Structure 1
Amino acid sequence: MHPLITARELAALLDGGRTARLLDVRWRLDRPDGRSEYLEAHLPGAVYVDLDHELASHGRPEDGRHPLPTRDALESAARRWGLRAGDTVVAYDDAGGLAAARAWWLLSRAGVADVRVLDGGLSAWTREGLPLEEGDVVPQSGDIVLHDATEGIADIDDAAAWPGRGVLLDVRAAERYRGQVEPLDPIAGHIPGAVNLPISALLSDGLLRSPDELRAAFEAAGATQNTPVAAYCGSGITAAHAALAGVVAGIDVTVYPGSWSQWSNSPGRPVATGAEPGDLSA
Structure 2
Amino acid sequence: MASILTTAEELHDALIARRYDDGGPVRLLDVRWRLDRPDGRPDHRSGHIPGAQYVALDEDLADHHAPASEGRHPLPSVEKLQAAARRWGISRGDTVVVYDDAKNTASARAWWLLRFAGFADVRLLDGALRAWTDAGYDFEKGDAETPAPGTVDLSYGALPSLALDEVAAFAEDGLLLDARAAERYRGETEPIDPRAGHIPGAVSAPTIDNVGEDGRFRSPDELRTRFRMLGAEDGVSVGVYCGSGVTAAHQAVALSLAGFEPRVFPGSWSQWSNHPELPVATGPDPR
Structure-2-length-normalised TM-score:
0.95
SS in 1 for 2:270: helix
The answer to whether structure 1 residue 69 and structure 2 residue 70 are counterparts is no
Contact 2:109/2:250 (<8 A) preserved: yes
Match of 1:192 among 197, 200, 204: 200
Deviation at 1:225, TM superposition (A): 4.5
Superposed, which structure 2 residues align to 1:1-282 within 5 Å? 1-18=2-19, 19-58=25-64, 59-137=66-144, 138-149=146-157, 151-205=159-213, 206-278=215-287
Deviation at 1:17, TM superposition (A): 3.5
Deviation at 1:183, TM superposition (A): 0.5
CA distance in 1, matches of 2:18, 2:281: 53
Contact 2:5/2:126 (<8 A) preserved: yes
Contact 1:182/1:188 (<8 A) preserved: yes
CA distance in 2, matches of 1:241, 1:26: 14
Deviation at 1:150, TM superposition (A): 5.6
Gaps of 5+ in 1: none
Question: Aligned in 2, Cα 1:241/1:161: closer, same or farther, shift over 3 Å?
Answer: same
Contact 1:202/1:245 (<8 A) preserved: yes
Contact 2:118/2:158 (<8 A) preserved: no
Residue identity (%):
55
Q: One-letter code of the match for 1:258?
A: G
Contact 1:224/1:251 (<8 A) preserved: no
Question: Aligned in 2, Cα 1:38/1:225: closer, same or farther, shift over 3 Å?
Answer: farther
Aligned residue pair count? 278
- Which stretch of structure 1 is more off in the superposition, 100-109 or 269-278? 100-109
SS in 2 for 1:204: coil
- Which stretch of structure 1 is more off in the superposition, 129-138 or 218-227? 218-227
Q: One-letter code of the match for 1:171?
A: A
Structure 1 stretches of 4+ moved >4 Å: none
SS in 1 for 2:271: helix
1:109-157 deviations in Å (ceiling 9; x for gaps):
2121111110111110010001110111221211111112363110112
Q: One-letter code of the match for 1:53?
A: E
1:41-75 deviations in Å (ceiling 9; x for gaps):
00000000010010010211110000001110000
CA distance in 2, matches of 1:106, 1:186: 26
